[in-house]
Amino acid sequence: MDVLVTGGAGFIGSNLVRHLLEAGDRVRVLDDLSTGHRANLDGVEAELIEGDVRDLELVRRACRGTEVVYHLAALPSVARSLADPGTTNDVNVRGTLSVLLAARAEGVRRVVYASSSSIYGDAPSLPKEESMPPLPRSPYAAAKLAGEAYCRAFTASLGLETVSLRFFNVFGPRQDPASPYAAVIPRFASRMLAGEPPVIFGDGRQSRDFTYVENAVRACRLAAEADGEVAGEVLNVACGRRTSLLELVAMLNRLLGTSLEPAFAAPQPGDVRHSEAAIGRAERLLGYRPLVGVEEGLAETVAWVARAAPVGGWS
């Protein structure tokens, strides 16, 4: 199968590219390398088109001749979106519309869109089910929800098959610990490997449904291959269990043989208190189930962070 991965030099994207190549697909990548890294694609035989997902003509060229588009390109981070809502909207909403327009024009069979659990906001009901009203608390979450709405509209009215996957706190190799917007697991792992305490924003009892990246990329492939019943659907992709940040620190201490106590700082605006996914719909429609648990995934992630650390440590 010929496929396009937008954002394929990023964290999830580069893991997906490797998965697709191992499955025998011919892979093209579109990435402007603003948050992704060319080094993430070292050693893989994928065509790289460097450019902006908002450039409709470029995206049309990237889509040409492909059967499936995995749309992962985005400007990530809740914190970044609070600092610059306009750019987050422009990249994540206009960029998604550009991909949908290009895919339809070029006869792509299906677009698999990477959405986010952040669209649920801080509604108290757990686990989060796809039928719940979305309550986004950040511009990032609002932009991801807008992307879902565009996907559903293109399926309902314009004949383009789409599937939106709401990823819950994906972690794993190639997730940059040095980014100013680094996610919690690589940030904790890099500090603890250096013998420094992890910094928790809040009391540490907040919880997340941490999802190892191998589970997420497998869900992408299943979404591309599922029958037409899945077109237009929105599906949670997660492990279906909660882990508090205090529990996460304890797991990392066990893996590293350390006893580092966390430091605490003020909660960050836009963060939600608890997150846990109901994954029954993805199980029913895709045959999805998480194959790698949190602790096993943490071990793989810590090993990668240790191997990838630059001389002098992550700055």
Q: What is the pLDDT of residues 122-168, one digit of tens each?
A: 888 999 999 999 999 999 999 999 999 999 999 999 999 999 999 99
Whether 120 maps to a domain, the answer reads yes
Q: CB–CB of 231/161 below 8 Å?
A: yes
Residues 233 and 146 in one domain: yes
Which of 246-250, 267-271, 304-308, 309-313 is modeled with the greatest confidence? 246-250
Say if 231 falls within a structural domain: yes
176: domain CATH number is: 3.90.25.10
- Whether 288 is in a domain gets the answer no
Q: Would the pLDDT of 308 be above 90?
A: no
Same-domain status, 43 and 78? yes
Q: Are residues 146 and 228 in the same domain?
A: yes
- Domain co-membership, 26 together with 149: yes
According to the model, what pLDDT value does residue 56 have? 98
Look at residue 15 and tell me whether its pLDDT is greater than 70. Answer: yes
312 has a pLDDT exceeding 80: no
Mean per-residue pLDDT, 206-220:
97
Q: Are residues 104 and 251 in the same domain?
A: no
Same domain, yes or no: 105 and 149: yes
Mean per-residue pLDDT for 38-53? 96
**Catalytic hit among 70, 120, 140, 212:** 140
Q: What angle do CA 299, 288, 46 make, to 5 degrees?
A: 70
Provide the CATH number for the domain around residue 149. 3.40.50.720
314, pLDDT greater than 60: no
Provide the pLDDT confidence category of residue 309 given band limits of 50, 70 and 90.
confident
Pair (183, 159) in one structural domain: no
In a domain, 281, yes or no: no
Q: How far is CA 140 from the centre of its chain?
A: 13
What's the pLDDT at 121?
93
| pLDDT per residue as tens digits for the range 164-211 | 999 999 999 999 888 877 799 999 999 999 999 999 999 999 999 999
- Count of CB atoms situated within 10 Å of the CB of 260: 16
Residue 273 CB-half CA count within 13 A: 7
3-state helix, strand, coil in the chain (%, to 5): 45, 15, 40
233 in a domain, yes or no? yes
3 state SS for 130-176: CCCCCCCCCHHHHHHHHHHHHHHHHHHHHCCEEEEEEECCEECCCCC
Answer yes or no: is 284 within a domain: no
The secondary structure of residue 129, as a DSSP letter, is -
Q: pLDDT-based confidence at 33, cuts 50/70/90?
A: very high
Average pLDDT over residues 108-134: 95
Domain range holding 268?
A: 171-208+241-276+293-308
Per-residue pLDDT at 30: 98
Q: What is the pLDDT of residue 260?
A: 97
Residues 145 and 74 in one domain: yes
Within a domain: 11: yes
* pLDDT at residue 272, rounded to an integer: 86
Q: What is the biggest distance separating any 2 CA atoms in the chain, rounded to whole angstroms?
A: 56
Looking at the fold, whether 39 and 89 belong to one and the same domain comes out as: yes
Q: Has residue 311 got a pLDDT over 80?
A: no
Q: How far apart are CA 188 and CA 57, in angstroms?
A: 41
Q: Is 113 a catalytic residue?
A: no
Q: Is residue 254 over pLDDT 60?
A: yes
Query: Are 24 and 112 within one domain?
Result: yes
Confidence class of residue 275 from pLDDT cuts 50, 70 and 90? very high
> What's the CA dihedral at 54, 7, 107, 27 to 10 degrees?
140
Does some domain include residue 249? yes
Mean pLDDT of the 299-314 span: 81
Domain count, the chain: 2
25, 111: one domain: yes
105 and 190 inside one domain: no
Give the confidence band of 114 by pLDDT, cuts at 50, 70, 90.
very high
Provide mean pLDDT across the span 215-241: 97
State the average pLDDT for the chain. Answer: 95
Average pLDDT over residues 267-288: 94
